[in-house]
């Protein structure tokens, strides 16, 4: 469990390069505004707009969700954070940052692994958690963030546009039954049941792209569940030609956002192995390409090298 004490605000991450030059009053120096201005309870931020987010955090605590389009665990975690933030009814704001599109923010937050979630209180960052976590843990951590914010005089709110807690966007179409079953299983951490649901959906409709993507993501989560990163890396280093060990470390790299490292590891091993032993590495690379996206520059580079090895 994350321990958010007042000391947690001291020097966790240096965001000085993102602040506007003008000095601002420190939190707690006076009565905070009763409400703050924000586009909504959940909105996107960029390298160019993040100074306004820092200012907003002087009135209401901000949760920053650092994610990427290719990151499967990010797609599982983000809806959970949005749900919890929405239920807090304006006492916390969620800001989403695409690390691929915003390299300055990724560097400032030292986002070496995603999903990465950071709080902002009075313009100061405090780490919350890294990786996909259960909904109950998200609730507990955001509760602690609210307590920390109160200790620093940051107790404002952002009013909801609808004013009565009703949904401001049109209701989304319900998920197909097997997709809904898979999503519920993922939230419960039952990856085997989620895999079975997605496989059944694909058996019924082999062209179901959402089921295919979901299956790849949940298989990855299932493979890395409970794995000790240090032990996995040590095993792979001790036997560089061990294909299962290399595949496991590559899974951990992709889960942590180190996509290029995973591609390079598997392609290097393919280059060193005879053709008859390359099959599992090729299959895993193709799975990764589907997760990250066929148009991603990293995939294009890796796909080109893969082709040169195979042909």
State pLDDT tens for residues 176-222.
899 889 888 877 778 899 999 999 999 999 988 888 888 888 898 88
Q: How does the average pLDDT of the chain come out, rounded?
A: 82
The answer to whether residue 187 is catalytic is no
What band does 172 get if pLDDT is binned at 50, 70 and 90? low
Judge if 300 and 199 occupy the same domain: no
Q: Pick the residue with more confidence: 141 or 255?
A: 141
How many CB atoms lie under 10 A from the CB of residue 116? 24
Per-residue pLDDT, 167: 45
Contact 80, 187 (CB under 8 A): yes
Query: Are residues 236 and 216 part of one domain?
Result: no
> 130 and 111 in one domain?
yes
Provide the number of structural domains found in the chain: 3
- 235 and 282 within one domain: yes
Q: Domain range holding 214? A: 177-224
Distance, in Å, from the CA atom of 261 to the CA atom of 50, rounded to the nearest integer, reads 29
71 counts as catalytic: yes
Considering the domain boundaries, does residue 101 fall inside one? yes
Is the pLDDT score of 166 beyond 50? no
Asked if residue 143 and residue 248 are part of one domain, the reply reads no
First to last CA, the chain: 50
Q: Provide the whole-model pTM.
A: 0.55
Q: Percent of the chain beyond pLDDT 70?
A: 83
Structural domain contains residue 3: no
> Do 272 and 208 share a domain, yes or no?
no
pLDDT of 305 higher than 90: yes
Same domain, 57 and 73: yes
Identified catalytic residue from 74, 149, 224, 291: 74
Q: How confident is the model at residue 165 (pLDDT cuts 50, 70, 90)?
A: very low
Q: What is the pLDDT of residue 216?
A: 85
Which tops the pLDDT comparison, 269 or 295? 269
CATH number for the domain spanning 67: value is 3.40.30.10
Q: Does residue 115 have a pLDDT over 70?
A: yes
Q: What is the pLDDT of residue 7?
A: 45
Does residue 10 register a pLDDT over 70?
no
Is the domain of 56 the same as that of 110? yes
Q: Which of 62, 71, 95, 291 is catalytic?
A: 71
Give, for 281, the enclosing helix (H) or strand (E). Answer: helix 279-292
- Confidence (pLDDT) at 161: 60
| pLDDT tens profile 23-67 | 344 444 344 444 556 678 899 999 889 989 998 999 999 999 999
How many angstroms separate the CA atoms of 129 and 114, rounded?
10
> Residue 172 domain-assigned?
no
The predicted structure's pLDDT at residue 187:
72
């Amino acid at each position: 469990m994350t321990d958010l004490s007042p000391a947690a605000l001291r020097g966790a991450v240096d965001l000085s390069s993102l602040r506007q030059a003008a000095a601002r009053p420190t939190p707690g120096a006076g009565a905070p505004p009763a409400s703050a201005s924000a586009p909504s309870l959940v909105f996107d931020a960029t390298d160019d707009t993040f100074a306004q987010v820092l200012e907003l955090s002087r009135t209401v605590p901000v949760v920053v969700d650092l994610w990427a389009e290719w990151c499967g665990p990010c797609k599982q975690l983000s809806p959970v954070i949005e749900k919890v933030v929405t239920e807090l009814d304006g006492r916390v704001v969620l800001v989403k940052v695409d690390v691929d599109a915003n390299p300055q923010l990724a560097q400032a937050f030292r986002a070496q692994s995603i999903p990465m979630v950071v709080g902002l209180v009075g313009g100061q960052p405090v780490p919350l958690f890294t990786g996909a976590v259960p909904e109950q843990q998200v609730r507990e951590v955001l509760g602690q963030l609210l307590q920390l914010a109160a200790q620093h005089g940051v107790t404002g709110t952002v009013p909801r546009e609808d004013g009565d807690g009703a949904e401001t966007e049109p209701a989304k179409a319900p998920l197909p039954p097997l997709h809904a079953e898979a999503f519920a299983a993922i939230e419960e951490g039952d990856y085997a049941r989620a895999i079975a649901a997605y496989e059944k959906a694909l058996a019924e409709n082999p062209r179901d792209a959402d089921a295919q993507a979901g299956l790849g993501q949940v298989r990855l989560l299932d493979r890395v569940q409970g794995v000790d990163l240090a032990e996995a890396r040590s095993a792979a280093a001790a036997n560089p030609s061990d294909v299962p060990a290399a595949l496991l470390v590559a899974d951990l790299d992709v889960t942590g956002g180190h996509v290029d490292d995973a591609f390079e590891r598997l392609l290097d091993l393919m280059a060193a192995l005879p053709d008859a032993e390359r099959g599992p590495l090729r299959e895993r690379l193709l799975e990764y390409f589907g997760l990250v996206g066929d148009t991603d520059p990293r995939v294009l580079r890796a796909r080109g090298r893969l082709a040169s090895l195979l042909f």
